[in-house]
Amino acid sequence: MNLLESVKIALEAIFSNKMRSLLTMLGIIIGISSVIIIVSLGHGSQQMILKEFESFGVNRAYLGLSWRENPRLRDYISKDDINILSEAFSKEIKGMSPMVSDSGKVIKRTEEIRVELSGVNEEFNKIENISMKKGRFLLETDMKTRRSAAVIDEKLALKVFGRTDVLEEEITVDLRNGQETFIIIGVMEDKPAPFGNLGGYEPPLAIYVPITNMEQMLGMNGNYWGLEINFNKGVNANQTLSRMISIIERRHNSEGKNLYITYTAESELQMVNQIMSILTLVVGAIAAISLVVGGIGVMNIMLVSVTERTKEIGIRKAIGAKYKDVMMQFLVEAIIISAIGGIIGILFGILISAIIAVIIGFPPAVSIISILIATLFSISVGIFFGFYPARKASKMDPINALRYE
C-alpha cells in the first residue's frame, strides 16, 4: 500500500468524525498560532525599535564622566576640550554638544505641564533629528549673548497657547530654584513617542535653551559632565570615541583611570535587539509548551481512535494488512490532523498578528521562517505523538482484534 492510499484512508477517517478531528486540532491550532503571534510581535517591536533608533540617529553617541570613579571637578570636560575635539575630529563629527538638563513645569492656570529643560549648543539640531515647524533652532549668537531664547515642542505650544504660531511669545518655566522666563524663537515638530502613549505615560515635553544660559542658571562654569555626539555616516563610533577619550585624558593627566565612559546608539541597539530576541525566544518557548499539550491531545484522541477501531484493524489485518500498513495508516492520520491544525494555526496567527500590528501600529512582521518552523513543528508533533498509538494499532493481534466488539 502506498502513501497516497494511506492519505486517502486517513482523510476519510478524519472527515467521518469532523467534530472530534476539529477538537483534536484545536490544541495544535492554539499552539501554532500563539507561537506565530509572539514571534511576529517580537520581530515587529524589534523593527519598531530599529526605526526609532534610526530617527534618533544610529550614529549617535555619548561621552561623559563615569560617576563610579568619583571624578573631581578638574576631570570635567571643559569648553577648551570641546573646541580641541571639534577641530581634531571635524571629519568624523557631524555635531557635538554638551547637554545639561533639568526637569520643571509650565503652569497654565491650574494645569501643570511637565517639561524637560535642556541646555544645548547650536549644533544640537545636527545631533537629534529636529525639524522646525516655526522659527529657527538656537544659533551661535544665542550662546554668546546668553539669550533667554527657547525652542519648544509643538505639543507644548498647543498646550500652553492653543496654537503653534507662538514666536516671540514668553514662556515661564518653574524650576527647583525659581522661575525662568524665555522668549520662544522656534517650535519643533512633534516626534511621536516610540510606543505611542502606552499605559497613559506621557514623556515630559522638551524645551531647548542656550547652554550658556542654562549654566548661568545652575551656577556652572563651563565644565560639563557629558557630550552628545553625532558622527558622520560610516564612521566607526567606538574607535573614534576611544581616540577622543585619550585626547581628553592627556589634557587632564588622567590616563588609564577610566574616568570617561561612552555609549553608542549602535551598541545600545545591539543590546536591545539581543534582549528582544531572548524575550521572544523565552515567550515563544512558553507558547511552544501549548503545542506539546496539543500534541498530547492528538495522542490521546489517536489512542481512543485506535481502541475504537480495533475491529477495523482486525479486519484489515485478517485481509492482509502488514505491520507497516497499519502503522502508516494511523501515523499518517495523526500527521494530517496535526498538519491541518498547523495550517489553520498559521492562518490564525497571521490574521491575529496583523490585527494587533494595526492596533499598536507595528509593521506586521510574520516571518517566513517562523511559518516554516511552525509547519515543521506541527508535523513533528504528529509524528512524535502519533507514533505510539500507531504502533499500538499495528501490534494488535488480529484474532483478538476481530473478536473485539
Partner 1 sequence: MKQVLRMIRIQDLVKVYKLGEIEVKALKNVNLHIKAAEFTSVMGPSGSGKSTLMNILGCLDRPTSGYYYLDQIQVDRMSPDELAEIRNKKIGFVFQSFNLLSRSSALKNVELPMLYAGVKPNERKERAVEALEKVGLSDRLHHKPNELSGGQRQRVAIARSLVNNPSIILADEPTGNLDSKSGIEIMDIFERLNEEGTTIILVTHEPDIASMAKRVIHFKDGEMVDDHETGKAEVSV
Residue 129 per-residue DSSP state? T
Does 314 help bind partner 1 (rule: CB under 8 A)? Answer: yes
Does 318 help bind partner 1 (rule: CB under 8 A)? Answer: yes
Alpha helices in 106-226 (DSSP H): 124-127, 140-144, 154-161, 211-218
Which of 17/375 has CB closer to partner 1? Answer: 17
Distances, alpha carbon 238 to alpha carbons 57, 64, 125, 265, 388, in Å: 15, 14, 22, 10, 57
CB burial of residue 279 (10 Å; 0-12, 13-18, 19+): middle
Residue 68 per-residue DSSP state? G
Tell which one of 317, 330, 331, 332 touches partner 1 (CB under 8 A). Answer: 317
Which of 283/402 has CB closer to partner 1? Answer: 402
CB burial of residue 198 (10 Å; 0-12, 13-18, 19+): exposed
Does 402 help bind partner 1 (rule: CB under 8 A)? Answer: yes
How many Cβ atoms are within 10 Å of 302's Cβ, its own excluded?
25
Does 392 help bind partner 1 (rule: CB under 8 A)? Answer: no
d(CA 213, CA 120): 9
Query: Cβ distance 36 to 353 under 8 Å?
Result: yes
Smallest separation, CB 325 to partner 1 (Å): 6
Which of 44/314 has CB closer to partner 1? Answer: 314
Does 12 help bind partner 1 (rule: CB under 8 A)? Answer: yes
Does 316 help bind partner 1 (rule: CB under 8 A)? Answer: yes
d(CA 259, CA 253): 11
Which of these segments, 200-208, 216-224, 263-271, 306-314, binds partner 1 (CB under 8 A)?
Answer: 306-314
Smallest separation, CB 315 to partner 1 (Å): 5
Which of these segments, 166-174, 180-188, 313-321, 371-379, binds partner 1 (CB under 8 A)?
Answer: 313-321
Smallest separation, CB 358 to partner 1 (Å): 45
SS3 303: helix
Tell which one of 19, 73, 198, 319 touches partner 1 (CB under 8 A). Answer: 319
Does 1 help bind partner 1 (rule: CB under 8 A)? Answer: yes
Tell which one of 16, 90, 177, 253 touches partner 1 (CB under 8 A). Answer: 16
63 Cβ contact list (under 8 Å, min separation 6): 77, 226, 227, 229, 241, 244, 245, 260, 261, 262
Helix (H) or strand (E) holding 120: strand 111-120
Smallest separation, CB 2 to partner 1 (Å): 8
Smallest separation, CB 20 to partner 1 (Å): 14
Smallest separation, CB 379 to partner 1 (Å): 25
d(CA 258, CA 71): 10
d(CA 37, CA 401): 45
Tell which one of 113, 167, 283, 315 touches partner 1 (CB under 8 A). Answer: 315
Which of these segments, 80-88, 237-245, 308-316, 351-359, binds partner 1 (CB under 8 A)?
Answer: 308-316
Tell which one of 194, 204, 222, 398 touches partner 1 (CB under 8 A). Answer: 398
Residue 222 per-residue DSSP state? S
Strands 226-231 and 223-224: unpaired
Does 312 help bind partner 1 (rule: CB under 8 A)? Answer: yes
d(CA 113, CA 110): 10
Which of 9/184 has CB closer to partner 1? Answer: 9
Which of these segments, 94-102, 241-249, 309-317, 372-380, binds partner 1 (CB under 8 A)?
Answer: 309-317
Smallest separation, CB 319 to partner 1 (Å): 5
d(CA 65, CA 228): 12
Does 321 help bind partner 1 (rule: CB under 8 A)? Answer: yes
Which of these segments, 84-92, 159-167, 293-301, 318-326, binds partner 1 (CB under 8 A)?
Answer: 318-326
Q: Which residues bind partner 1 (CB under 8 A)?
A: 1-2, 5, 12-13, 16, 311-312, 314-325, 398-399, 402
